[in-house]
Chain A
Amino acid sequence: MTEINYLWPLAGGLLIGLSAGLYLLLNGRIAGISGLAAAAAGLTHDGDSKLGLGFLAGIIAGAWLTATLVRHPDITLTSSPALLIAAGLIVGYGTRLGSGCTSGHGVCGLARLSPRSLAATAIFIAVAGATVFVTRHLVGVQP
């Protein structure tokens, strides 16, 4: 059943790309979630906080509906508050400093062949992989 294992990620990826593509063609904006979250929290200058809130509310509702109707996620996640807080702070600061995350650089930026997004995506995947290697195989703190 290996084919089935690739159909779910492929189908989900197509939906994520469809969302990003529609947002570009309808609203003329990049569907970068870190940017939308910062906008929703009123932490940007562009006055897009309502659009950010709408997009984020859509994500939460869409995830809930899909989990209820299509596929219930079996979430594996650390329960260490210190780790969650540290990672959250670093992700929040880093995505603003680096102008994007997996969606803004990885999905939107790569699709428009932005050299910045190509560099950012290569860097954050490499560093994340190295982090997992250190925490799982050298220190052994991660499940």
Chain B
Amino acid sequence: MRARMLAAIVCGLIFGAGLVISDMINPGRVLAFLDVAGSWDPSLAFVMGGALIPSAVANIIRSRGSAPLLDSRFYVPTNRSIDWKLVTGAALFGLGWGLVGFCPGPAIAALSTGRWEAALFVAAMLVGMLVYRLSHRQRLPNYSAN
């Protein structure tokens, strides 16, 4: 558990660094990407393209092994069906993302700047997650056998 905890912290450090270097921590930059009708800023496409390369390589490596280095199995969802929950949830997330320019990662990273706006957004986000938790009887997700 201690090794997994260390891995989580290190991965978080790299993730936070990536959000600042790419400037995705800045909602103004994100909204400029989403504003196709305005002065469009393609930055986010490069961030996503860049992120997909190592992420895809990791998935290829994963497909050749039976278990991760620090745990006995992979916890990767196997559900492949596109249902109303997914569609509605993604649409709601897109609405909130477009209103302010914050998605969860950048909002949490922006807590490091001490901006009250980020703290208010994250607090509201956690309340939104709590509302979901209270209104849905969650079942354990289906994970792949390995």
Contacts and interface: CB of A to CB of B under 8 A. Distances in A.
Contact of A98 (B13, B37, B49, B93): B93
A73 B34 CA distance: 19
B140 A20 contact: no
B70 to A, nearest CB: 5
Given A12-B22, A28-B75, A60-B111, A77 B15 contact: no
Given A17-B52, A112-B76, A98 B7 contact: no
Interface of B: 1, 4-29, 31, 34-38, 42-44, 46-59, 61-62, 67-71, 73-77, 79-82, 85-105, 107-113, 115, 117-118, 120-133, 136, 138, 140-141
Nearest to A32: B104
The CB with the most chain A CB atoms within 10 A, among B10, B48, B49, B104, is that of: B104
Interface of A: 5-6, 8-31, 33-34, 37-38, 41, 43-46, 50-52, 54-67, 70-71, 73-79, 81, 83-99, 101-103, 105-108, 110-112, 114-116, 119-121, 123-133, 135-137, 142-143
A92 B80 contact: no
Contacts, number: 496
B4 to A, nearest CB: 5
A75 B25 CA distance: 7
The CB with the most chain B CB atoms within 10 A, among A12, A44, A110, A121, is that of: A12
Contacts of A16: 14-15, 18-19, 22, 24, 47, 50-51
B130 A41 contact: yes
A62 B12 contact: yes
A123 B25 contact: no
B113 to A, nearest CB: 6
Given A12-B24, A13-B46, A66-B20, 14 more contacts: A9-B47, A16-B50, A27-B71, A38-B133, A43-B133, A51-B5, A57-B12, A58-B15, A63-B17, A65-B13, A75-B110, A110-B52, A112-B56, A132-B98
Contacts of A111: 52, 55-56, 58-59
A56 B94 contact: no
B46 A6 contact: yes
B135 to A, nearest CB: 9
